[in-house]
């Protein structure tokens, strides 16, 4: 026989299964094609599962009751054919719940894998589960077509497999065969829900699967391991790349575990937006390879390691995280050690409210046999949720779902005395479902009693990390963090080191590259166009008013961006692009999002959009999303009237905007922070960006576009603000795997302490006495006693600040005060972070952290005062929008720079302010936006190119952070970097660069300093 034929391929698979505990039938002689059952295995299993009941109902082996057997087979066929949603029928429900036969108690149809080793009878019955593979199954009563392999469990069909060898055909041919020649109509084996649960298309290279055959509309998903962070499978020594399917997935214990604990039925109810008619559909959910791999690895590691560990799962958008979380929660809630001890007393899932109420609730209910296993605490006011949360925890609900805002309260209740503080919990967090209202992190700061000394909580990932740092001192909690875009600190805290000297890595990885190549998400950077705004401002009068330069720049830039002319012209670009390019997509159903940088800008865009579409008589509408109230600048009243979200969207008719946006009349959603993340609308095909984006925020925001939908193969981004290369770099970090370039240095704590000790603001006697009062128990612990030990240090700092402001300003003395406060805050953050995994061996570091956390709160905030700049005397005289370029920002393998951690002692000082006249600041803004003449645009472009080139110098970045402006401007390194850049950055601006080179180098250096070079270097670093 030729080894490259399908027959040889089939032989190899069946031989392996035969040696692995499967029953193998080399023909379909025992298959009942009318009923789609393998009766021999069914009777053998029922006899093993309940010998007494079987003998009583069906008679002894030598005198079987054939009538009763046929009656039972017909009863089973009827149950398999009933609707799963209304009647609980179908293959999966029947397999898990068993069958009732008159005269005996219910017969199970599968024995699930035992939780522990305590019950030998369970292990014995589990070993009797009958797995069978049947070759060349002629499945139909109306024709002779056959399927290569059909898999059965205790007589019920659970999977079909079509094989192709890549020497002659490909996996696409197997998929085409299913679509063209495997019509499920009137075929019980192929009928969705009634027959096999999953259908595999298998070649020697790849594996694809579907759970619902529907002719040409059948959608196959890859069931591949991934190769080089992308699609496909890696080679396997001695066999073909797809051999993992039968060597691993179809391994007896694995396959039974998938049938018993992974596969579930998803019921989806949709409401027609016009008729309000509801329709429920049901389909089988079968895990993709990476979902099975991640959950299985997590369960195995947790059983071995016990509670108190952390795990980071980096799974891209499109990975199916909700299903993965449901499977993991279900498994952890019932996880036992081999000797029968539960690993966790409960599981807490942190996710978006909609996910908890719908997807997770449904998935977990399908997976468990006992009702009431999962309870979501999402509805009602704070008092109501608090009461239900307490009851759920006290009652010991196996799985509790909370939003991120509610989790701190759950944490507090668990840590209280009374029994809960001795329980062990698994905490699963879906960080990708960020708050859609934009105020979650603010609530968390209050709930956690957070201060600036504790470090920034900029998003939900920061908040979860902060709670994990504080919650698990006694090792009773395990954290399982799911995220597509981990930060360096998250990798450090939750990641795993393959070897002691290696950098932390995710516990499991499903990267963006693989999700894109497998078709689960789209590459949103393929059609990326950037626009530049040119504007000129002019003072109404010639007055010279002294203003802070940075504050003035910010104020006048803001004035330009919110000017009605600016927003109207951008809106015209948006409307033209949408109606001509985007709207025709998806049969006219395509939608878009406009991302603005403030609630005020979002409202103005909505008003401008309404005016433009009314003027052009276009039949499209927009919604604007914001929280609270926003001042309506078009209002004629004094003071200006304020609008709520509902008032700004009368056509939504009171519906939640994410629901209203599903209606066909609404084509654009205008947002600031709300819905920028955690919003899933597959019909989004374009995004118009008028907001500065960088890093993770850029990836999360633009990723709203990447959701796949039928017929969706293009997305568009029109960006009015950002540089395309910066956006590409942000995505590149998470295209394959998030890596740490510069790992946080635990020695930072030593360096910071040395700096603080040298400032002579506190004494170590004060620190020791404060800590004694802080750790006192019972009546000895008094709030005033703790504070009294901190007051002397506060007073010394206040005295130093006052002395710096007597008889004028002593800038150097001010800087020392600001430096102390800044370094003290960083010490608290650094110690809190590093102490999670480093034992410093000296209690002094812990004492100082507690002392400084209190002290920093007491120091007057003198570092952020800024006099508001009056823009009422400024007018916009010129404005132009110009499209710079449209390109595909291609992502490439192995191009990520890596994530940087905390490595340098001291924080960058509060930037040194420079005073200038209002006219000078206006001219500075005009330099940024420039006028309409081409020569001016070239000049500005050449300066920006030069600035970017200079900023690449690593030594200069360090000097910018550790030197005052007066020292930095005289740096020899600065001059060398500028000269090098002048002679290397001439591409596209040759004439302008020649003129720059003709200048004295000192003039060029001074110009770059005035344009903010040092501040930009500090921000980059």
Instruction: Give residue limits of the domains in the chain.
Output: 6-262, 288-510, 528-738, 747-837, 905-1020
Determine the average pLDDT of the residues in 828-844: 75
pLDDT at 452: 41
CB atoms within 10 A of CB 718: 25
Question: In the chain, what percentage of residues exceed pLDDT 90?
Answer: 35
Determine the average pLDDT of the residues in 823-841: 77
User: Hey, what long-range contacts does 356-359 have (CB within 8 A, 24 or more apart)?
Assistant: 356/401, 356/402, 356/403, 359/322, 359/326
pLDDT at 136: 96
Compute φ and ψ for 796, nearest 5 degrees. Answer: -65, -40
d(CA 192, CA 599): 48
Q: What is the DSSP letter of 707?
A: B
> Treating both helix axes as pointing N-terminal to C-terminal, what angle do 564-577 and 549-562 enclose, rounded to 10 degrees?
50
Determine the average pLDDT of the residues in 484-513: 85
pLDDT at 436: 33
**Domain 528-738 CATH (choose: 3.60.20.10, 3.40.50.2020, 3.40.50.2000, 3.40.50.300):** 3.40.50.300
pLDDT at 234: 95
pTM of the model as a whole = 0.72
pLDDT at 669: 95
Q: Is the four-CA dihedral 708, 713, 718, 721 of positive or negative sign?
A: positive
Residue 927 has pLDDT above 60, yes or no: no
Q: Are 971 and 963 in contact (CB under 8 A)?
A: yes
Q: What is the DSSP letter of 955?
A: H
d(CA 730, CA 689): 16
Q: pLDDT-based confidence at 239, cuts 50/70/90?
A: very high
pLDDT at 242: 96
pLDDT at 344: 94
Determine the average pLDDT of the residues in 790-807: 88
Q: Are 848 and 827 in contact (CB under 8 A)?
A: yes
Closest among 257, 14, 35 to 141, alpha carbons compared: 35
Closest among 598, 638, 534, 562 to 874, alpha carbons compared: 562
Judged on CB neighbours under 10 Å (0-12, 13-18, 19+), 238 is: exposed
Residue 890 has pLDDT above 90, yes or no: no
Q: Are 318 and 520 in contact (CB under 8 A)?
A: yes
Q: Are 594 and 632 in contact (CB under 8 A)?
A: no
Q: pLDDT-based confidence at 272, cuts 50/70/90?
A: low
Q: Is the four-CA dihedral 846, 848, 849, 851 of positive or negative sign?
A: positive
The chain-wide mean pLDDT, for the chain, equals: 80
> Treating both helix axes as pointing N-terminal to C-terminal, what angle do 440-447 and 407-415 enclose, rounded to 10 degrees?
20
Closest among 1001, 1003, 1010 to 981, alpha carbons compared: 1001
State the SS3 of 906-933. Answer: CCCCCCCCCEEEHHHHHHHHHHHHCCCC
The answer to whether the bond into 549 is cis (omega within 30° of 0) is: no
Residue 575 has pLDDT above 50, yes or no: yes
d(CA 138, CA 135): 9
CA atoms within 13 A on the CB side of 620: 24
d(CA 290, CA 301): 16
pLDDT at 825: 86
| DSSP three-state, residue 228 | coil
Compute φ and ψ for 482, nearest 5 degrees. Answer: -105, 125
pLDDT at 472: 56
Determine the average pLDDT of the residues in 167-178: 92
Residues 6+ positions from 199 with CB-CB distance below 8 Å: 159, 160, 161, 162, 178, 182, 190, 209, 210, 211, 213
Q: Are 556 and 922 in contact (CB under 8 A)?
A: yes
Judged on CB neighbours under 10 Å (0-12, 13-18, 19+), 277 is: exposed
Q: What is the DSSP letter of 868?
A: P
State the SS3 of 246-314. Answer: HHHHCCHHHHHHHHHHCCEEEEEEEECCCCCCEEEEEEEECCCHHHHHHHHHHHHHHHHHCCCCEEEEE
**Domain 288-510 CATH (choose: 3.40.640.10, 3.10.20.600, 3.40.50.10810, 3.90.1150.10):** 3.40.50.10810
Residue 892 has pLDDT above 90, yes or no: no
Least confident of 121-130, 179-188, 566-575, 605-614: 566-575
State the SS3 of 329-344. Answer: HHHHHCCECCCCCECC
Tens digit of each residue's pLDDT (9 = 90 or more) over 9-51: 999 999 999 999 999 999 999 999 999 999 999 999 999 999 9
Q: Which strand ranges, in their side-by-side order, compose the sheet holding 425-430?
A: 374-377, 399-402, 346-350, 425-430, 477-483, 310-315, 508-510
Judged on CB neighbours under 10 Å (0-12, 13-18, 19+), 903 is: exposed
Q: Are 939 and 785 in contact (CB under 8 A)?
A: no
pLDDT at 560: 57
Closest among 259, 260, 258, 265 to 295, alpha carbons compared: 258
d(CA 961, CA 911): 10
Q: pLDDT-based confidence at 540, cuts 50/70/90?
A: low
Determine the average pLDDT of the residues in 681-702: 87
Q: What's the CA dihedral at 972, 977, 983, 984 to 10 degrees?
A: 170
Residues 6+ positions from 665 with CB-CB distance below 8 Å: 619, 620, 621, 651
Higher pLDDT, 252 or 1011: 252
Asked if the domains 288-510 and 528-738 are classified in one and the same CATH topology, the answer is yes
pLDDT at 773: 87
d(CA 147, CA 133): 12
CB atoms within 10 A of CB 682: 15
Tens digit of each residue's pLDDT (9 = 90 or more) over 202-232: 999 999 999 999 999 999 999 999 999 899 9
Q: Are 222 and 208 in contact (CB under 8 A)?
A: yes
pLDDT at 50: 92
pLDDT at 422: 79
Higher pLDDT, 355 or 716: 716
Alpha helices by DSSP H, 524-588? 549-562, 564-577
């Amino acid at each position: 026989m030729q080894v490259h034929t399908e027959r040889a391929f089939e032989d190899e698979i069946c031989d392996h299964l035969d040696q692995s505990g499967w029953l193998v039938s080399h023909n379909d002689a025992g298959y009942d094609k009318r009923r789609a059952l393998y009766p021999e295995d069914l009777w053998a299993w029922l006899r093993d599962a309940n010998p007494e009941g079987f003998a009583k109902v069906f008679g002894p082996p030598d005198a079987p009751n054939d009538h009763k057997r046929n009656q039972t087979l017909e009863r089973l066929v009827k149950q398999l054919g009933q609707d799963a949603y209304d009647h609980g029928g179908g293959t999966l429900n029947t397999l898990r719940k068993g069958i009732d036969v008159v005269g005996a108690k219910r017969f199970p149809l599968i024995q699930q894998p035992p939780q522990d080793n305590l019950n030998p009878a369970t292990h014995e019955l589990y070993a009797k589960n009958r797995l069978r593979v049947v070759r060349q199954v002629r499945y139909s009563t109306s024709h002779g077509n056959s399927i290569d392999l059909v898999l059965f469990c205790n007589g019920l069909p659970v999977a079909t497999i079509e094989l192709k060898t890549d020497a002659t055909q490909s996996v696409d041919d197997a998929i085409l065969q299913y679509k063209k020649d495997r019509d499920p109509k009137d075929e019980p084996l192929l009928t969705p829900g009634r027959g096999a649960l999953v259908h595999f298309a298998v070649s020697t290279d790849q594996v694809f699967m579907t759970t619902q055959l529907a002719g040409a509309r059948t959608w196959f998903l890859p069931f591949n391991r991934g190769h080089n962070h992308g699609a496909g499978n890696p080679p396997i020594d001695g066999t073909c790349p797809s051999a993992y399917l039968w060597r691993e997935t179809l391994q007896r214990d694995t396959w039974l575990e998938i049938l018993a604990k992974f596969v579930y039925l998803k019921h989806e109810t949709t409401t027609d937006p016009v008729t309000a008619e509801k329709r429920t559909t049901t389909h089988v959910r079968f895990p993709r390879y990476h979902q099975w791999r991640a959950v299985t690895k997590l369960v195995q590691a947790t059983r071995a390691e016990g509670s108190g560990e952390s795990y980071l799962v980096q799974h891209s958008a499109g990975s199916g995280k909700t299903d993965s979380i449901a499977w993991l929660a279900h498994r952890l809630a019932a996880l036992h050690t081999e000797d029968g001890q539960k690993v966790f007393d409960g599981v807490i899932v942190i996710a978006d409210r909609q996910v908890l109420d719908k997807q997770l609730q449904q998935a977990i209910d399908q997976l468990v046999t006992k009702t009431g296993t999962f309870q979501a605490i999402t509805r009602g006011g704070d008092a109501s949720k608090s009461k239900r949360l307490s009851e759920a925890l006290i009652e010991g609900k196996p799985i509790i779902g909370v939003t991120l805002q509610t989790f701190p309260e759950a944490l507090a209740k668990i840590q209280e005395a009374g029994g809960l503080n001795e329980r062990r919990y698994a905490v699963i967090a879906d960080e990708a479902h960020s708050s859609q209202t934009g105020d979650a992190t603010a609530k968390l700061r209050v709930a956690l009693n957070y201060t600036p000394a504790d470090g920034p909580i900029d998003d939900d990932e920061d908040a979860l990390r902060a709670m994990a740092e504080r919650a698990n001192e006694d090792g009773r909690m395990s954290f399982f963090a799911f995220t597509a875009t981990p930060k360096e600190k998250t990798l450090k805290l939750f990641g795993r080191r393959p070897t002691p000297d290696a950098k932390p890595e995710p516990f499991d990885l499903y990267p963006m590259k693989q999700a894109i190549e497998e078709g689960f998400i789209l590459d949103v950077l393929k059609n990326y166009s950037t626009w530049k705004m040119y504007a000129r401002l002019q003072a109404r009068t010639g007055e010279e008013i002294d203003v802070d330069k940075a504050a003035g720049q910010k104020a006048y830039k803001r004035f330009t961006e919110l000017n009605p002319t600016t927003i109207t012209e951008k809106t015209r670009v948006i409307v033209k692009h949408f109606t001509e390019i985007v709207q025709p997509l998806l049969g006219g159903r395509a939608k878009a999002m406009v991302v603005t940088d403030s609630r005020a800008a979002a409202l103005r865009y909505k008003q401008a959009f309404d005016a433009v579409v009314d003027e052009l008589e276009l039949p499209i509408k927009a919604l604007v999303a914001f929280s609270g109230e926003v001042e309506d600048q078009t209002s004629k009243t004094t003071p200006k009237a304020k609008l709520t979200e509902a008032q700004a969207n009368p056509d939504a008719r009171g519906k939640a905007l994410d629901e209203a946006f599903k209606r066909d009349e609404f084509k654009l959603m205008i947002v600031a922070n709300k819905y920028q993340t955690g919003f899933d609308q597959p019909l989004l095909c374009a995004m118009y960006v008028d907001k500065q984006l960088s890093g993770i925020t850029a990836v999360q925001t633009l990723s709203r576009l990447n959701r796949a939908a039928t017929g969706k193969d293009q997305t568009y981004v029109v960006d009015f603000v950002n540089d395309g290369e910066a956006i590409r770099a942000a995505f590149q970090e998470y295209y394959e795997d998030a890596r740490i370039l510069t790992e946080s240095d635990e020695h930072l704590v030593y360096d910071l302490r040395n700096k603080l000790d040298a400032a002579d603001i506190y004494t170590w006697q004060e620190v020791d006495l404060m800590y004694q009062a802080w750790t006192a128990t019972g009546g000895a612990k008094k709030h005033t006693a703790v504070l009294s030990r901190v007051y002397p240090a506060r007073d010394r700092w206040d005295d130093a600040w006052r002395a710096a402001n007597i008889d004028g300003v002593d800038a150097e003395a001010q800087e020392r005060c600001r430096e102390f406060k800044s370094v003290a805050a960083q010490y608290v953050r650094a110690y809190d972070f590093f102490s999670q995994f480093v034992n410093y061996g000296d209690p002094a570091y812990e004492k100082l952290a507690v002392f400084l956390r209190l002290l920093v709160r007491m120091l007057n905030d003198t570092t952020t005062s800024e006099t508001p700049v009056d823009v009422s005397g400024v007018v916009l005289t010129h404005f132009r929008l110009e499209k710079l370029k449209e390109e595909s920002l291609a992502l490439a393998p192995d191009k990520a720079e890596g994530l940087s951690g905390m490595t340098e002692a001291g924080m960058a000082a509060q930037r040194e302010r420079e005073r200038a006249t209002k006219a000078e600041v206006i001219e500075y803004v005009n330099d940024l936006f420039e006028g309409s003449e081409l020569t001016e645009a070239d000049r500005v472009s050449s300066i920006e190119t030069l600035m970017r080139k200079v900023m690449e110098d690593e030594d200069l970045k360090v000097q910018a952070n550790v030197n005052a402006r007066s020292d930095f401007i005289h740096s020899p390194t600065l001059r060398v970097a500028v000269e090098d850049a002048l002679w290397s950055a001439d591409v596209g601006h040759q004439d302008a660069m020649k003129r720059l080179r003709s200048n004295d180098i000192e003039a060029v250096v001074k110009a770059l300093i005035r344009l903010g070079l040092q501040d930009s270097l500090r921000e980059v670093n």
